[in-house]
Chains A and B, each alone.
Chain A
Amino acid sequence: MADLSTSFASLELKNPVTTASGTCGYGLEYANFYDLKKLGAVIVKGIRMTPSDGNPMPRVCEVTGGMINAIGLQGPGVDAFLHDDHYLPALKKSGATVFVNIWGTSIGEYADVAAALDAGSDGISALEVNISCPNVKAGGAAFGTDGKLAAQVVRAVRGATRLPVIVKLSPNVADIAEFGRIAEAEGADAISLINTLGAMAIDIETRRPKIANVTGGLSGPAVKPVAIRMVYQCFRAVKVPILGMGGISCGADAVEFMLAGATAVSVGTANFTDPLLPLNVISFLDEYLDRHRIKSVRELVGAMEQ
């Protein structure tokens, strides 16, 4: 039995495996399949101040090796999330380690959500700041692809909460390492990457886009090599820990992310394929470390040899 516990953004996680925001709902959606306490953390889908409808249907389509989504951050808003039984109160009871993904349509809203969650932070271990959703026209991607705006968002959130702040970076930029440096300079405790890659697909029979938003975000195994490259580039550019994600669909993928520089990893789209995948990743890590006679999972971080 290797030691799977790890330190991440001033937190001690029981293992480095989390479930990615947007793929594991707002509460106990996967609790019927396994005990959420077994995960390093559950990362709740994006929350803003007010409830939001999200985008029209269809919102998802499958492509080779992945899927495109434009859900558009449908959500209950921060008050309902903090107080309605089936959201945070249920997660608290489950004993899960909870990270909450946040977003806004203005810098002020980002700060307001962070402050509201900070005030109700019993049961919340960290905030993940989504500056990179490609599917929300106001905010989201604009903040993640403009260095000045990104800096302002991170500074505002940093000033509004004592919780560890993880900044989720967009891959839809020329130099992702630059955004990692910006987040770090503005006080982020960690960065997470990658969010989905801008993408689209067309039904050739109807000549219509396959999702109503026309463009969406690509995820799944197809994006993994891009994500590995970006984690590697950020690892060389920043000192804060990296939460690596993008197409992890087996335990070996998680090891690859860690070798590239990720301290922890998120399983995203693969939850849809196999709800038990996060547990399989944890057991693979254990087996891999034993097989390679490595005592702690921490030794894998950035351990690629060149």
Chain B
Amino acid sequence: MARFQILENVRLRGDYFRVVFSAPEIAAAARAGQFVHVRIDERRDHVLRRPFSIHDADPAAGSITLIYKRVGSGTALLAEKAAGSCCDLLGPLGTAFTPAPEGVVPVAVAGGYGAAATYMLVRSCARKPVLLIGARNRDELILDDVYRAAGCDVRVATDDGGCGVKGRVTELVEPLLAENPGKKFFFYGCGPRPMLAALGRKLRELHRDGELSVDEIMCCGVGACFGCVVKINDPDAEKGWSYARSCVEGPVFPLEKIYLEK
């Protein structure tokens, strides 16, 4: 809970923003998929912190970058913060993505601002990940340019066909596999719950392995309150599942652990 200075807080497009904090300790420790829990404002009418995936960390510069969408009162306050002002950050928190080793093609499948959470895989994996990004329309598509600039193969699907293929991001998986017969893949999913469920089903159908990063409303961020749980497979439980805390047992879960509703 130290206070960290904002170096930059700029609009990417529409309601999407990028904020950079000077946070050397967090930058040094952060791994792909982890998050910081941000107390945006000191005013007592806001009691909850907001969790954000760490988009990028630069240990040399001592900075971390978050990408966020202005969706409610907390993110609206964050969008108003000027460079030079401070926020209180906890982190890095939660589990991280497992970097794909040499010989395995890493594939990040992102829905909306889910693409923010997978960017550090560009450096942690042995080879550059392929990016499959889905968005409602061109205006909701972010970070495709950032991944392209990093040398990634980026493929886009939009609901209205305004950019890339018309359809769901999960529909980009099979063509990718067909182009690369015999290759080994490891998938990283991040996005809204329905998209993750669809991706989980698709990957199981295709017998492919991976990890999913969930995005749930969060309260304490450290495992104390049980406010952010997700269903995971639990052979010991009568129903076949039990709740796990996405802040400490996640947000990144192995695909085989995620319980998919029938």
- Interface set of A (CB-CB < 8 Å, partner B): 22-25, 29-30, 32-33, 45, 53-54, 57-62, 64-67, 69, 71, 74, 220-221, 249, 269-276
Contacts and interface: CB of A to CB of B under 8 A. Distances in A.
A269 B223 CA distance: 14
Interface string B39-65: 100001111110000000000000000
Nearest to B216: A57
Q: B interface, by DSSP: helix, strand, loop or mixed?
A: loop
B230 interface: yes
Contacts of A62: 46-48, 73-74
Given A23-B224, A272-B48, A57 B229 contact: yes
B46 A54 contact: no
A273 B227 contact: no
B125 interface: no
Interface in B115-148: none
Given A62-B46, A272-B221, 14 more contacts: A24-B224, A53-B243, A54-B243, A57-B230, A59-B229, A60-B48, A60-B219, A61-B217, A65-B44, A66-B47, A67-B48, A69-B225, A272-B47, A272-B48
Contact of A273 (B48, B229, B243): B48
A273 B225 CA distance: 12
Nearest to A32: B222
B197 interface: no
Given A220-B47, A272-B49, A273-B48, A29 B222 contact: yes
Interface of B: 1, 39, 44-49, 73-74, 88, 90, 216-217, 219-230, 242-243
B229 A67 contact: no
A71 B47 CA distance: 17
A183 B128 CA distance: 65
Contact of A67 (B47, B242, B243): B47
A30 B220 CA distance: 10
B243 A30 contact: no
B226 A54 contact: yes
A30 B224 CA distance: 8
B243 A29 contact: no
- Which 6 residue pairs are nearest across A and B when measured between Cβ atoms? A25-B224, A29-B224, A60-B227, A220-B47, A62-B48, A272-B220
A71 B1 contact: no
Contact of A275 (B1, B46, B229): B1
A300 B217 CA distance: 39
A60 B73 CA distance: 16
A239 B47 CA distance: 34
Contact of B45 (A59, A65, A275): A65
Contact of A22 (B1, B45, B223, B225): B225
Given A65-B44, A276-B1, A29 B229 contact: no
B229 A270 contact: no
Nearest to B242: A53
Looking at B74, B217, B220, B230, which has the most chain A CB atoms within 10 Å of its CB?
A: B220
